[in-house]
Structure 1
Amino acid sequence: MPKAKPVLLLKNASVPTDPYEGIFLENGFCPEFLPLLTHRHFDRERTLEYLRSSEFVDEIPVFIITSQRAVEMLGDCLSSLEQEVKKKILSKIGYTVGPATFSVLKTLGFSSIRGGERAGNGSKLAELIHEEVGDISTRMVFFTGVVRKDIIPRKLMEWNHNLQETVIYTTEVRDDVVKNFTNYIERTSGGWIVFFSPQGTESIVEYIRNQRQSQFKLASIGPTTEEYLLENSIKPDITASKPHASSLYEAIVNSENTA
């Protein structure tokens, strides 16, 4: 029986399940996560107060949430809300990027989630919101982290939409990234290293640039991350056509079959 090929996923595992881990395990690979970041509530009590407020419950029909971590924080807060309040929140229209956050929001009980597969990045999601919401006076809230890209709010504000932002989580780079990465390199023979985002990978990029091991192939989840790697003189072997598990898996398998 052939030995399972290692795949190092440079990300925190998504909860309750991670689609990347699932698809690689199902197909004979040996996936392993290397967490880069720590995430925590920015101010849980403040978020709960906002979610309970009549302003949010009764006056804001649309919310935007694009980060898996923001969804996790929102889900944690929802579990502490009164049923009547929670029911009203779950009936709101939610917009999100990509299939992963879409799926988790559905699992949390939201009944009207839009975007997902139809919106693979922030620019496409902003265009979808502009097209579907129509009335620019409709109040919307964007649940974000302390650090976030400004594509969605910038576009929506250029179109004069009534948008406000609420920070619900914060992110910090772990201080054990390089140690864990070098330990993995030393105990693993070959396989793939997958980059999902520039955030938190600075020390790994420096290590690879200075000491690249030819037995490892590099994968990028999308063009933004690919551009970041190229800017740092690292050329990934493959870039997924879409930012989700099946596209990444297919790109890796196609690369191996044509090698």
Structure 2
Amino acid sequence: MTNIVLLKNPSIPTDPYDIKFSSENYTPRFIPLLTHGHVDKQSTIAYLQSREFSQVGIFIITSQRAVEILRECIDELDESTKVEIFKKTGYTVGPATFKILREVGFSDVRGGEDAGNGAKLAGIVMEDVQDKSEPMIFFTGEIRKDIIPRALIGQGYNLSERVIYKTSGRDDVVEKFNTVKNQGGWLVFFSPQGTETFVDYLKEGQNRQKWKIASIGPTTETYLLENGITPEVVAAKPAPNSLFDAIVKIDNSIENVCSF
């Protein structure tokens, strides 16, 4: 079994990367980088029950953490309010967040695997929504890129933002990595956020011996390269199957060389 350390908080209730790699002769281990929490849970619940939100037919949400925070708030609503909320159209980035939104109860979810980043998602929204005056809400965190708001508002769309969660970095990332450091395997970076101290630690060559580096996408790859770390692989899409395909290709090539 090959170790694969996933530098991310595991998705709740199940994590698709854990499921994929556990079934493929790998041993996944999570090292959470961030802690997440509500900015103001009662305020978010009140908004979901408000007349203002009842008039919004489209929402955008791009973070798994934002979806989890949203789900916790929806769980506290009465059934009739939930029914109305689940009728709304949701736009999201990546297959994992798409899947979680469907599990929450939304039936009309768009983007997902077809939207690998914010720019692509904004393009999909603009193709779908012909009436620019239609109100839309972007559920987001305190720290976020402005690609989607800039694109949509810049084109005259009626988009508002609501910050529903906050994020802070953990100070035990290096400590947790040291418990498995000598075992070797794969280190997977999913985002630059929260990795600054850990990246500095890896720059000391002996700390990444026995470990190969994987990036979930080009943005994270650029961040790693700028910090002097060259990943062995970059997933073609931010999805479990794509990441697995990239990693197993390298592992199989190494096994073939060693067999001669």
**TM-score interval (norm. to shorter):** over 0.9
Which amino acid counterpart does residue 216 of structure 2 have in structure 1? I
Deviation at 1:239, TM superposition (A): 0.4
Correspondence for 1:232: 227
Q: Specify which of 191, 209, 216 is matched with residue 203 of structure 2.
A: 209
SS of the equivalent of 2:183 reads: coil
Is 2:144 the counterpart of 1:148?
A: yes
Residue among 17, 20, 23 paired with 1:20: 17
Q: Where does residue 251 of structure 1 map in the other structure?
A: 246
Structure 1: where are the runs of 5+ without partners? Answer: none
CA deviation after TM superposition for structure 1 residue 224, in Å: 0.2
User: TM-score scaled by structure 1?
Assistant: 0.96
Shift of 1:201: 0.6
Distance 1:161 1:218 in 2: 40
Displaced runs of 4 or more, over 2 A: 211-214
Q: Give 1:203 shift.
A: 1.0
Gaps spanning 5+ residues in structure 2: where?
255-260
Spell out, residue by residue over 1:145-185, the C-alpha distance to the aligned partner (whole angstroms, 9 max, x if none): 00001111110011110000000000000121121122221
Alignment RMSD: 0.9
Provide the residue aligned with 2:185 in structure 1. Answer: 191
What is the aligned residue count? 253
Q: CA deviation at 1:210?
A: 1.6
Counterpart of 2:37 (choices 23, 29, 40) is 40
Q: Distance in 2 between matches of 1:232 and 1:182?
A: 21
Give me the whole-angstrom Cα distance separating, in 1, the residues matched to 2:85 and 2:63: 18
Among candidates 115, 133, 151, match of residue 111 of structure 2 = 115
Alignment check: 8 A CA contact 1:181 1:204 kept: no
Alpha-carbon distance in 2 for matches of 1:21, 1:223: 22
**Which residue identity is paired with 1:219?**
A
For the 8 Å contact 1:37–1:171, the answer to whether it is kept is: yes
Report deviation, 1:104.
0.7
- The CA deviation string for residues 194-218 of structure 1, in whole angstroms up to 9 with x for no partner, is 0000001111110111234331100
1:54 is matched with: 51
Identity, in percent, stands at 53
Partner AA of 1:140 in structure 2: M
Give the alignment of 1:28-177 within 5 angstroms.
Answer: 28-57=25-54, 59-177=55-173
